[in-house]
């Protein structure tokens, strides 16, 4: 008999499988032998929140209803095993291995029509019967029916499961203040909260409980926050946390953060590295109050109103904001969304010698007024790997286009390039840029008219895994066939999207099917080929009754 591997080696192997999200392999390991079951299950449930069945978000148009049902069944089994383990109804204590609990995913499951119609009775049988909570709904006709009380179910499950998840690091969902206060003493390893509604933080006991029981807490995300005096309440929560512990703050919508919240963040000036905030006309002038936060490495600022041009209306705030960002010497990723002053704010940062930018995104700027910004991109050519540009291209002259093309061609460390710029680049411009950027892994480009000539430089991008050709195109069957033949091992799994094929030169459905098969056989890739439609012409124009 061959000698068994030591337990520590088995744990290392399963940990590697978990890091690579190899759920099928871990399941097979768990079934193979008792010695492998514990390390396999430990690592499988540790990363269960990354499972491909989680969320069951497959397109029902593309999948048969029976396939959708099968996926939801697997999804429900995952959650049932977790919950059952918390009430000691499973062979192994799965919930003890869990690092992340996403109650949003559980809510989505409970509200899924396939679950409510065909799975819920089986889900809530046996030891899970105690969680089957319903409301009686009366229709206008007077007819009554029972419906799952999702909020009550999730709260009841959370109450039980959090008593058996000592390694829990992340909690996500639509959580109440009472739940957070009650659960915090049980989850001493908690690092991150992802809240649907930030109003759960209004109770001062929430921050106090986290302060006392969760010394590793360092990350907060809030999707939205509805209510009055939000800035003051948010600031009180931030101030009540242990000083210099918060590392990441992410607000996905306007949560009312303003002057008080920005000042409160100064209590975390030494640790705050990742700041994603939504601002409004009211809070935009207070950005300089973040000046104390200079340890930042990633910044994303979204202006939900998008009406203020700072350099024209409040130049002092504009200059102070630049000084704050320039003082963040470790800043390497920055994104401005719907912020009209973005290009002007970016330019001095790009010229700052101490800053080495790796990722830059801007979606609302006027290109004809941004020559200096385009020229400044070259100063980050040794570090910049991700660039996404989107803005107003009206009024650009040839010199404006040439300056941008020349700058882009010098960014030879680029791995992701997204040029969402309408009706500006000719094919020769794109060829000039692409032929110089040999490291590209992802490419999104628009163009006035794209032909087979563009496919030649694209085919030489040996690391390319995703390409979107979004301009009006006249690609031929032979040109695309030749492109596919030139792909190599570095293009494995490539996704090719042609979004605006010109109707007059359209490749027929049979040829598209042939191209899809060739691409899959060659590098396991996929092809999406979409006809361009003139937005000024009705889809039904010319159709007879």
End-to-end CA distance of the chain: 78
pLDDT bin (cut points 50, 70, 90) of residue 474 is very high
Distance CA 293, CA 263 (A): 10
Distances (CA, A) of 506 to 243, 329, 371, 468: 62, 51, 37, 17
Q: How confident is the model over 480-502, as a mean pLDDT?
A: 96
Q: For residue 56, what pLDDT is reported?
A: 57
Q: How confident is the model over 211-219, as a mean pLDDT?
A: 97
Dihedral, 261, 264, 265, 268 alpha carbons, nearest 10: -160
Which is higher by pLDDT, 534 or 134?
A: 134
Q: For residue 142, what pLDDT is reported?
A: 77
Q: For residue 380, what pLDDT is reported?
A: 97
Q: For residue 545, what pLDDT is reported?
A: 39
Q: How confident is the model over 211-238, as a mean pLDDT?
A: 96
| Residue 204 predicted with pLDDT over 90 | yes
Dihedral, 425, 429, 435, 436 alpha carbons, nearest 10: -100
Q: How confident is the model over 304-322, as a mean pLDDT?
A: 95
Q: For residue 4, what pLDDT is reported?
A: 66
300, β-bridge pairs? 276, 335
Residue pLDDT, tens place only, 458-473: 999 999 999 999 989 9
pTM exceeds cut of 0.85: yes
Q: For residue 542, what pLDDT is reported?
A: 45
56 phi, psi to nearest 5 deg? 40, 55
Residue pLDDT, tens place only, 319-344: 999 999 999 999 999 999 999 999 99
| Residue 3 predicted with pLDDT over 60 | no
pLDDT bin (cut points 50, 70, 90) of residue 32 is confident
Distance CA 43, CA 45 (A): 6
Q: What is the DSSP letter of 4?
A: P
135, β-bridge pairs? 147
Q: For residue 458, what pLDDT is reported?
A: 97
134-138 and 144-148 strand pairing: antiparallel
Q: What is the mean pLDDT of the chain?
A: 91
Percent with pLDDT over 90 in the chain: 78
| Residue 59 predicted with pLDDT over 60 | no
pLDDT bin (cut points 50, 70, 90) of residue 534 is low
Q: What is the DSSP string of 350-376?
A: HH-TT----EEEE-S-BGGG-HHHHHH
| Residue 60 predicted with pLDDT over 50 | no
Q: How confident is the model over 475-484, as a mean pLDDT?
A: 96
pLDDT bin (cut points 50, 70, 90) of residue 69 is confident
Contacts of 50 (CB under 8 A, 6+ apart): 21
Q: Give the torsion sign (CA, 34, 38, 40, 44).
A: positive
Question: Does residue 201 contact residue 177 with C-beta atoms inside 8 Å?
Answer: yes
pLDDT bin (cut points 50, 70, 90) of residue 539 is very low
Q: How confident is the model over 264-276, as a mean pLDDT?
A: 97
| Residue 236 predicted with pLDDT over 50 | yes
Q: Give the range among 122-131, 191-200, 245-254, 529-538 with minimum mean pLDDT.
A: 529-538
Which is higher by pLDDT, 29 or 456?
A: 456
pLDDT bin (cut points 50, 70, 90) of residue 275 is very high
Q: Which helix (H) or strand (E) holds 387?
A: strand 386-390
| Residue 82 predicted with pLDDT over 80 | yes
pLDDT bin (cut points 50, 70, 90) of residue 62 is very low
pLDDT bin (cut points 50, 70, 90) of residue 535 is very low
Residue pLDDT, tens place only, 359-377: 999 998 999 999 999 999 9
244, β-bridge pairs? none
| Residue 242 predicted with pLDDT over 90 | yes
| Chain centroid offset of residue 117 CA | 31
């Amino acid at each position: 008999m061959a000698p068994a591997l030591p337990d520590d080696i088995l744990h290392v192997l399963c940990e590697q499988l978990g890091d690579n999200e190899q759920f099928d392999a871990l399941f097979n390991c768990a079934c193979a032998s008792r010695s492998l079951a514990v390390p396999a299950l430990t690592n499988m449930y540790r990363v269960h929140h990354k499972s491909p069945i989680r969320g069951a978000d497959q397109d029902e148009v593309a999948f048969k209803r029976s396939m959708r049902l099968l996926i939801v069944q697997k999804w429900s089994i995952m959650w049932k095993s977790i919950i059952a383990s918390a009430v000691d109804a499973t062979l192994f204590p799965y919930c003890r291995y869990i690092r992340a609990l996403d109650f949003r995913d559980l809510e989505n499951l409970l509200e899924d029509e396939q679950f409510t119609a065909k799975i819920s009775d089986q889900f809530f049988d046996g030891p899970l019967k105690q969680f089957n909570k319903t409301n009686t709904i009366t229709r206008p006709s007077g007819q009554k029916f029972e419906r799952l009380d999702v909020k009550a179910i999730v709260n009841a499950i959370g109450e039980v499961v959090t008593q058996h998840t000592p390694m829990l690091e992340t909690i996500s969902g639509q959580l109440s203040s009472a739940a957070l206060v009650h659960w915090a003493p049980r989850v001493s390893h908690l690092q991150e909260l992802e809240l649907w509604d930030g109003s759960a933080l209004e109770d001062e006991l929430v921050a106090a409980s986290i302060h006392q029981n969760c010394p590793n807490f360092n990350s907060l995300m809030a999707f939205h926050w509805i209510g009055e005096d939000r800035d003051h309440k948010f600031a009180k929560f931030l101030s009540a946390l242990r000083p210099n512990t918060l590392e990441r703050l992410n607000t996905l919508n306007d949560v009312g953060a303003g002057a008080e919240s920005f000042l409160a963040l100064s209590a975390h000036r030494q640790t705050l590295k990742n700041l994603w905030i939504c601002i409004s006309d009211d809070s935009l002038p207070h950005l300089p109050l973040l000046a104390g936060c200079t340890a930042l490495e990633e910044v994303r600022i979204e202006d939900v109103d998008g009406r203020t041009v700072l350099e024209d209306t409040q130049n002092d705030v504009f200059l102070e904001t630049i000084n704050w960002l320039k003082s963040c010497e470790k800043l390497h990723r920055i994104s401005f969304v719907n912020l009209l002053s973005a290009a002007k704010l970016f330019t001095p940062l790009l010229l700052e010698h101490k800053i080495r930018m790796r990722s830059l995104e801007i979606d609302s700027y006027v290109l004809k007024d941004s020559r200096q910004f385009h020229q400044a991109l070259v100063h980050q050519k040794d570090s910049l790997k991700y660039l996404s540009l989107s803005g107003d291209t009206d009024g650009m002259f040839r010199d404006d286009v040439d300056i941008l093309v020349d700058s882009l061609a010098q960014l030879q460390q680029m791995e992701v390039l997204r040029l969402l710029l309408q009706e500006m680049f000719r094919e020769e411009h794109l060829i000039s840029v692409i032929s110089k950027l040999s490291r590209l892994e992802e490419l999104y480009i628009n163009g006035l008219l794209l032909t087979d000539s563009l496919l030649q430089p694209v085919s030489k991008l040996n690391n390319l895994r995703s390409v979107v050709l979004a301009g009006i195109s006249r690609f031929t069957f032979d040109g695309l066939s030749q492109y596919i033949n030139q792909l190599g091992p570095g293009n494995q799994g490539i996704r090719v999207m042609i979004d605006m094929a010109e109707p007059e030169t359209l490749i027929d459905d049979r040829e598209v099917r042939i191209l899809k098969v060739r691409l899959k056989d060659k590098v396991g890739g996929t092809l999406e080929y979409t006809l361009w439609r003139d937005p000024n012409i009705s889809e039904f124009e010319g159709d007879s009754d």
